[in-house]
Structure 1
Amino acid sequence: MSEERSLNFIEQIVEEDLANGSTGGRVLTRFPPEPNGYLHIGHAKSIVLNFGLAQKYNGATNLRFDDTNPVTEDTEYVDSIREDIKWLGFTWQQELYASDYFEQLYQFAVTLIKKGLAYVEDATAEEIAAMKGTPTTPGVNSPARSRSVEENLDLFERMRKGEFKDGEKTLRAKIDMASPNMHMRDPLMYRIKHAHHHRTGDKWCIYPMYDFAHGQSDSIEQITHSICTLEFIPHRALYDWFIQELNIYPSHQYEFSRLNLNYTVMSKRKLKQLVEEHHVAGWDDPRMPTISGLRRRGYTAASIRNFCERVGVQKRDNVIEYSLLEFCIREELNKTANRAMAVLDPVKLVITNYPEGQVEELEAENNPEDPNSGSRKLPFSNTLYIEREDFMENPPKKYFRLGPGMMVRLKNAYIIKGESVDKDADGNITTIYATYLPESKSGGDASGLTVKGTIHWVSAAHAAAAEVRLYDRLFTVENPGMEEGDFKSFINKDSLQVINTAYVEPGLLQAKPGDRFQFMRKGYFSVDPDSTSEKLVFNRTVTLKDAWAKESAKAAK
């Protein structure tokens, strides 16, 4: 973490704890994902915070999977979470699972039963909810609340043995049905689920609730700073109650604001809907806010860490502009991505006075922002591809590209002058004819001419064909999850546009999946894993400028 900025409130707490010795002079954090989906950019903020704190204060971080619901969990999610954290640049001290503690958690529950602080409930989920009352009216005690310790111990053991069906019994803590905190009104501790667990198999048919497993797992591991998002504030009293009544290590919970990003959804449930209903191509679809999706789109680990640092750690929820995330990757790639020429909407350009069959090797710098990036050779011939938008037959004023009688510079090459065109039966231009000035060669221009426009190109005989995928925001509204109606009705139908035949300079044939380039005048692009030696595939990571803000302002007017 940066030493230049002021301390955030959690860092202040850590420094106070280290100064007064309340944590024994150590810092141990944890990142505790549920393995029921892929991690998203909001999790990245938590990862950067937890692992960053440990790094800053010479501590450590555990990766603990809170795998207490066998119905929704899968080893696919475990593997993806591991990969994402490593890719972000962090290493955990121990890899642990809440399921490692199932026996210990069961014994904790037995201890609470013996103390008269937990009981087996017969009521259904609907009946329990009705008993709890409302935030303004107290709940009512369940008839099962008066069961004896002996009967509760017997029933709980029989629950473990599998004698009851799903939903037939639960275990509840006995706290206070009139508490102003709804989470303290005899919350559930265990439920029955006859389901195969990804690690423990069929050994268990009762599983601890998240609120019971989470705090005790922190305590078992002796986590010094248990960092959660703001929605867990009401849970803290229950977290502390369990620790106090069990007389175990007093791990303490601290809350910070979760990351909310506009023009997307951050709910794993909603992201799962998008995947399962095939609105996107998978969890790693480059339009998704998942870490794997951002990685596939071409985002770097450094840019995401930088974004999380810029967002900061607060106590109040807010919505972060998607454009800040784009700024972070744009800022990095401007410095690090080699330049390349790619023509996305090609039209043929023939230079009539350039010798047919002649091929010239022209020098081009790889990255003007990086003096150590070197240069490359580009083949130049009399037949090129240029962008269709770079030629107009009847150009308006202040159009500084190519047209009849108009001159423009070909990047790293020569000045050319538009002469004539061929068209098809529908009036579409199929070929542009131009002449070049031999003395205007870039880097040694002796023509004395100055032109206002420079366009990119590729040699038709040497160019490599490529598929280019242009990605944009997945939703058309800032907060699709809060709008009336189905959030999926706000999906941006133009969030993916596929260009099947673009042309790129031949050197890109050596590019590997994950390599990033700035396509001159077009944006930043990354080689997709779908890319093969037969066909290159590029994903647009981000445009050169914040085009969305400009379009949004125009639409607002």
Structure 2
Amino acid sequence: MKEYTCSNSNFIKKIIEKDLKKKKYFYLQTRFPPEPNGYLHIGHAKSICLNFGLAEYYKGKCNLRFDDTNPTKENIEYINSIKKDIRWLGFQWNGEILYSSKYFNILNKYAIELIKKGLAYVDQLNKEEIRQYRGTLKEPGINSPYRNQSITENILLFERMKNGHFATGTACLRAKIDMSSPFMIMRDPVLYRIIFSNHHQTKDQWCIYPTYDFSHCISDSLEGITHSICTLEFQDNRRLYDWILDNITITHRPSQYEYSRLNLEYTILSKRKLNILVKKKIVHGWDDPRMPTISGLRRRGYTPSSIRTFCQKIGITKQDNLIETSSLESCIRNELNKTAPRKIAVLNPIKILLSNVPNNYQEIFTVPNHPTDNYMGFRSLPFTNELYIDYFDFHETNKKDYRGLVLGQEIRLRYGYVIKAIKVKKDIENNIINIICTCDFNTLGKNPKNRKIKGVIHWLSTKHALSATFHLYNRLFTIKNPEKEKNFLNYINPKSFLIKKGFVESNIKNKNNDQVYQFEREGYFCIEKNKNNSNLIFNRIIPLKNKKIQD
């Protein structure tokens, strides 16, 4: 049993338990119904964990049903990515994959049933006219001039729509409900529209397609869904959901329940806006590690368990709020702190020359792979007279609260000796070429007497270090809630992706391994496997909690 299905009680679980106890339903049947018009994101992960998790917990079933009712925005690439993401998160759908398009013939019959009952009509207003006739939140709508056509005429017109006799946008099928309803969704909503586009499942069989609202409730009923769970923006749509099922001859009645969608700081969670980022090449595809897509998080190095833990941590409520990014980051950081072996990497290398260490000198330090888990074993770390340290770990003059190497002062090498900076060598442009230091060989594993050593820095032997590239990913946006901004592209973080050329320990040689490492004092990194490059490339998953970013 997965952790998030059991530990948190929420209002949906209480509803399910009440329904099962009263025998309203004898089993639980949920569904995850994505539209295949983009890649899944972290918000969908919340829905996946909820729908699949509830089915698993109550020994029910969860269907995967693609809401494929708009062929102009859908394709097989998105379908395949969605299937991969669900499996990667640790779930398996019930039976075969389902599609709304599988029910097109049945949906068409129910549309005709509504027409015959005088509850639907073919409207020939264009899209803009329909919007104007619908009214506003303060003013009621106006009946379409086509609203009172006879049933016979509507049957013929709908048949002509189906046979391709109308151009796109010149006719649609609308429900006949109430143009003065206080709920906009009930002001004669569109049930079918004309789309001339090849469909990935039905090819060119249809040129009319049901809307989400019409197909969704009927698909739920046909599949025996008991609890149709969706986000709060569909709360008013529940009125139409129930109206459609009330007015057609269908037996099974599912119930719809809504919860708050996920809103995450510094993040966009709209597939339409994410698609803009991809098309404008602001990011490098849907799986760019800066993207909040599941494939992007996977490529960045997030684990399925860390995402499931996050979804469990934020819970299920009816209250919209903006979740702090630190909440997601802490889930992966806490997990990797326990599982990631430690290594040393120098991302901004500058060379140290140890003047009192011979050129051919080499010493091997045996160091732990994890500070608290001895079962991870130990590794060898070569020490020689030339070392790389990080550029930010050296200053020529001291600064307040600075704990790096300063000219004329001492510092300890991680796992090694205390060294002292004597002088620097510079080029003609006054850039530091290397730092000349001395090494105190009496300080291995112990502090020198009467001398205060204020810090520890990481290092690598230049003769043994392996060159590597580091991809540093930061927040994609500079403001907390870009979703609210009309011109959200104005807030792209110019430092969301940085490339560093540096070095890692030579014992990391296999560029195809799946191991995640903590590079000491830097953060957690995984090997990038999507690049056709013989060199090692590391993606930074997350910095250490208290690391000051100097990228």
How far apart, in 2, do the equivalents of 1:452 and 1:127 lie? 74
> Helix, strand or coil for the counterpart of 2:146?
helix
Contact 1:530–1:537 (Cα < 8 Å) also in 2: no
For residues 30-66 of structure 1, the C-alpha deviation after alignment (integer angstroms, 9 at most, x for no partner) is 1111000111111111111111111111112111110
**Counterpart position of 1:348:** 351
The one-letter code matched in structure 1 to 2:379 is R
Mapped pair 1:313 → 2:316: yes
How far apart, in 1, do the equivalents of 2:220 and 2:547 lie? 45
Mapped pair 1:358 → 2:361: yes
472-481 or 415-424, which deviates more: 415-424
Cα distance, 1:253 vs structure 2: 0.4
How far apart, in 2, do the equivalents of 1:431 and 1:86 lie? 50
How far apart, in 2, do the equivalents of 1:339 and 1:99 lie? 51
The one-letter code matched in structure 1 to 2:65 is R
Correspondence list, 1:263-274, <5 A: 263-274=266-277
For residues 70-126 of structure 1, the C-alpha deviation after alignment (integer angstroms, 9 at most, x for no partner) is 001111111111111111111111311111111111111112122222111121112
Cα distance, 1:513 vs structure 2: 5.7
**Counterpart position of 2:436:** 433
For residues 381-423 of structure 1, the C-alpha deviation after alignment (integer angstroms, 9 at most, x for no partner) is 2211111222222223554432344222211222222222211
41-50 or 156-165, which deviates more: 156-165
**Counterpart position of 2:376:** 373
Cα distance, 1:164 vs structure 2: 1.6
Correspondence list, 1:362-511, <5 A: 362-396=365-399, 398-442=401-445, 445=446, 451-483=453-485, 485-499=486-500, 501-511=501-511
**Counterpart position of 1:44:** 45
The one-letter code matched in structure 2 to 1:135 is L
Cα distance, 1:532 vs structure 2: 5.8
For residues 402-460 of structure 1, the C-alpha deviation after alignment (integer angstroms, 9 at most, x for no partner) is 23442222112222222222111122221122222334334xx5966763321111111
> Helix, strand or coil for the counterpart of 2:517?
strand
Contact 2:267–2:480 (Cα < 8 Å) also in 1: yes
350-359 or 273-282, which deviates more: 350-359
**Counterpart position of 1:555:** none
**Counterpart position of 1:518:** 518
**Counterpart position of 1:323:** 326
How far apart, in 2, do the equivalents of 1:32 and 1:376 lie? 49
How far apart, in 2, do the equivalents of 1:446 and 1:235 lie? 70
Contact 2:5–2:57 (Cα < 8 Å) also in 1: no
How far apart, in 2, do the equivalents of 1:397 and 1:183 lie? 62
How far apart, in 1, do the equivalents of 2:6 and 2:177 lie? 47
The one-letter code matched in structure 2 to 1:368 is P
Contact 2:167–2:194 (Cα < 8 Å) also in 1: yes
Q: Normalising by the residue count of structure 1, what TM-score does the alignment of the two structures yield?
A: 0.93
For residues 349-392 of structure 1, the C-alpha deviation after alignment (integer angstroms, 9 at most, x for no partner) is 12223232233332121112433211112222221111122222
Mapped pair 1:528 → 2:528: yes
Which residue among 281, 284, 287 is the counterpart of 1:284? 287
**Counterpart position of 2:338:** 335
How far apart, in 2, do the equivalents of 1:280 and 1:182 lie? 37
What is the percentage of aligned positions where both structures have the same residue? Answer: 51
Mapped pair 1:164 → 2:166: yes
Structure 2 unaligned regions, length at least 5: none
Cα distance, 1:512 vs structure 2: 2.9
**Counterpart position of 2:125:** 123
> Helix, strand or coil for the counterpart of 1:104?
helix
Cα distance, 1:290 vs structure 2: 1.1
**Alignment: residue pair count:** 545
Cα distance, 1:3 vs structure 2: 7.5
For residues 254-298 of structure 1, the C-alpha deviation after alignment (integer angstroms, 9 at most, x for no partner) is 000000111111111111111101111111111111111111122
> Helix, strand or coil for the counterpart of 1:47?
helix
Cα distance, 1:252 vs structure 2: 0.8
How far apart, in 2, do the equivalents of 1:325 and 1:273 lie? 24
532-541 or 218-227, which deviates more: 532-541
How far apart, in 1, do the equivalents of 2:207 and 2:546 lie? 53
How far apart, in 2, do the equivalents of 1:76 and 1:297 lie? 20
C-alpha RMSD over aligned residues: 2.0
How far apart, in 2, do the equivalents of 1:481 and 1:35 lie? 22
Contact 2:4–2:308 (Cα < 8 Å) also in 1: no
How far apart, in 2, do the equivalents of 1:110 and 1:79 lie? 34
Change (3 A) 1:301 1:521: same
Contact 2:522–2:547 (Cα < 8 Å) also in 1: no
Cα distance, 1:141 vs structure 2: 2.3
> Helix, strand or coil for the counterpart of 1:171?
strand
How far apart, in 1, do the equivalents of 2:277 and 2:249 lie? 44
